[in-house]
Amino acid sequence: MKLLFDENISYRVAKKLEPVTECLHVSRSGLKMPAKDAQIWNFAKKNNYIIVTFDEDFEDMSNLYGFPPKVILLRFGNSSTQELVEKLTFKLPEIKQFYDSEVYGLLEMF
């Protein structure tokens, strides 16, 4: 399971989750910053990542283009880095199930 964290999420989240799953922050992907949504989408598709984001534009892209890549849309609101890490860690079984699904391409997490 490979997670690609969008620019609107601290790179520290990806760093703290690295011990439990493969993670990459967009800023470390080699894409020119600030990366456009389409560039992030194509990078994730090419490299088999799930995009993790707060950006609803990726929901629109998922509805328009389907998957891959899959998208996890976070609906947590303002959260500290540590709170976000804890929430994602708690939801890892659900994320794994989503990753393995051949039916679903968008997961909203509240």
- The model's pLDDT over 56-94, given as tens digits with 9 standing for 90+, comes to 999 999 999 999 999 999 998 889 999 999 999 999 999
Domain ranges in the chain? 2-109
Average pLDDT of the residues of the chain: 96
Rounded to two decimals, what is the model's pTM? 0.96
Residues β-bridged to residue 2: 22
Radius of gyration of the chain (CA): 13
Question: What pLDDT score does 43 carry?
Answer: 98
* Dist. CA 41–CA 79, nearest whole Å: 24
Q: Which of 44-48, 50-54, 76-80, 91-95 shows the lowest per-residue confidence on average (mean pLDDT)?
A: 76-80
Question: What pLDDT score does 6 carry?
Answer: 97
